[in-house]
Amino acid sequence: MIPFLSLKEVTGLHAAEIEAAVRRVVESGWYLQGSENERFESDYARYIGSRYCVGCANGLDALIWIFRAYIELGVMAPGDEVIVPANTYIATILAITENGLVPVLIEPKADTLEIDDTLIEAAITPRTRAICIVHLYGRCAYTDKIGALCRKYGLKLIEDNAQAHGCFTADGRRTGSIGDAAGHSFYPGKNLGALGDGGAVTTNDPELAAAVRTLANYGSSAKYVFKYTGRNSRLDEIQAAVLDVKLKFLDEDNAHRKQVAAMYYEGINNPLITLPKRWDDAQNVYHLFPILCSKRNELQAYLKENGVETLIHYPIPPHKQECYASAPWNIGLQLPVTEQIAAQELSLPIGPAIKPEDVSCIIDLINRF
């Protein structure tokens, strides 16, 4: 049996250091808002190349706080529009709608599966305030054209970096440092994963960083003084300590993912299967390895019969979800590329701990399908 991702094996790669870090926090008697958060925030900000990092409870909250902070700072107001890729994980859209903002869904490119930057300008209106890009599957979604549109129309550039820790842009900056703000998730299965939930916002903007920190701590600007109606959305000390250990190995872990991806790209030759366009490996940290197949469900069943677990990212796109069935921005939306990806996508096992012989076995099985 080859699992999609064995978190036990992923944690096992660095078990001794992780256990020592957890023990240190347990024995310290200090479990929230302490030195472990400070150290991780400072190390992660340096790694990403941003001035500020603010830890929070999870990736969804990180994105929610970015939009909420812009509303509190008077940069955005409910009813304003945010341009976003249609084929993202629903959390990106939830962060927009949670704040009363309106998502404007843009189709991805069929070959890279990232937002199609040629479709963005036509979607900009006087109410557009931001472009939220998602480095989906671990591939850099930023293009110079997107940066130029943000400057031309005075839009904020927000990055959903939940799937792309450690990824670079074409000009050698880390994703998460190129926009006005970025949301990061440390969900256990992400490239930088905690042993539970975790998230962070990175930004170079001191006002935004302060607003996010305040919002994620009940809206408290000083002890027992409340500036905003916030929530309790903090990163705990144990998770921060674990993340600081795993951050040291992130580039190494991503290098392993790139080797696995290279094996898939070079090994898979079944004409029924389309691989996303291969591009500069610096611009992809292969959070997932998506393939497209018109007989996707049969392929998934065949792999399962042969002991290989796969997942679909994502079977139902946000605009087809019940929760948005009557949303005004969703009435009559036609998104054929997004819907085709949802019907054909299959994610193959990939991760920092998968063995090359298992990858070879998956390739042989796929080529015999």
Ligand X SMILES: *Cc1c(COP(=O)(O)O)cnc(C)c1O
Which CB sits closer to ligand X, 178 or 363?
Answer: 178
Q: CB-hemisphere CA count at 13 Å for 207?
A: 9
- Helix boundaries (H) for the chain: 7-12, 15-28, 35-48, 59-72, 90-97, 144-153, 206-215, 237-248, 250-267, 296-305, 336-344, 356-367
One symbol per residue from 281 to 320: x for binding ligand X (CB under 6 A), - otherwise; what is it?
----------------------------------------
Which CB sits closer to ligand X, 66 or 363?
Answer: 66
Decide: is 239 part of the binding site for ligand X (CB under 6 A). no
Decide: is 160 part of the binding site for ligand X (CB under 6 A). yes
Dihedral angle computed from the Cα positions of residues 2, 350, 194 and 245, in that order, rounded to the nearest 10 degrees: 110
Nearest partner of 147 among 123, 125, 178, judged by Cα: 178
Decide: is 179 part of the binding site for ligand X (CB under 6 A). no
Decide: is 233 part of the binding site for ligand X (CB under 6 A). no
Which CB sits closer to ligand X, 88 or 344?
Answer: 88
Nearest partner of 250 among 52, 10, 8, judged by Cα: 10
Which CB sits closer to ligand X, 106 or 363?
Answer: 106
Which CB sits closer to ligand X, 88 or 284?
Answer: 88
One symbol per residue from 65 to 104: x for binding ligand X (CB under 6 A), - otherwise; what is it?
-----------------------xx-xx------------
Shortest Å, Cβ 156 to ligand X: 17
Which CB sits closer to ligand X, 88 or 175?
Answer: 88
Sign of CA dihedral 22, 26, 28, 31: positive
Strand, helix or coil for residue 225? strand
Stretch that binds ligand X, among 23-31, 155-163, 171-179, 231-239 (CB under 6 A): 155-163
Is there a contact between 54 and 41 (Cβ–Cβ < 8 Å)? yes
Residue nearest to ligand X (CB): 59
Q: Which two tokens stand for residue 331?
A: 């009435």
Shortest Å, Cβ 158 to ligand X: 12
**Cα angle 276, 183, 350; round to 5:** 35
Among 58, 99, 233, 338, which residue interacts with ligand X (rule: CB under 6 A)?
A: 58
One symbol per residue from 184 to 223: x for binding ligand X (CB under 6 A), - otherwise; what is it?
-x-x---------x-x------------------------
Shortest Å, Cβ 150 to ligand X: 20
Among 162, 182, 240, 285, which residue interacts with ligand X (rule: CB under 6 A)?
A: 162
Is there a contact between 45 and 98 (Cβ–Cβ < 8 Å)? no
Stretch that binds ligand X, among 157-165, 171-179, 215-223, 232-240 (CB under 6 A): 157-165
Which CB sits closer to ligand X, 91 or 247?
Answer: 91
Only one residue has tokens 């042969």, namely 306
Longest Cα–Cα distance of the chain, Å, equals 65
Nearest partner of 293 among 317, 308, 275, 306, judged by Cα: 275
Among 55, 59, 85, 349, which residue interacts with ligand X (rule: CB under 6 A)?
A: 59
**R_g over Cα of the chain:** 20
Size of the site for ligand X (CB under 6 A): 15
- Say if strands 102-106 and 156-160 run parallel, antiparallel, or are unpaired: unpaired
Q: Which of residues 119-138 bind ligand X (CB under 6 A)?
A: 134
Stretch that binds ligand X, among 32-40, 55-63, 64-72, 252-260 (CB under 6 A): 55-63
Which string of DSSP letters, residue by residue, matches 9-77?
Answer: HHHHTTHHHHHHHHHHHHHHT--BSSHHHHHHHHHHHHHHT-SEEEEES-HHHHHHHHHHHHHHTTS--
Contact residues for ligand X (CB under 6 A)?
58-60, 88-89, 91-92, 134, 160, 162-163, 185, 187, 197, 199
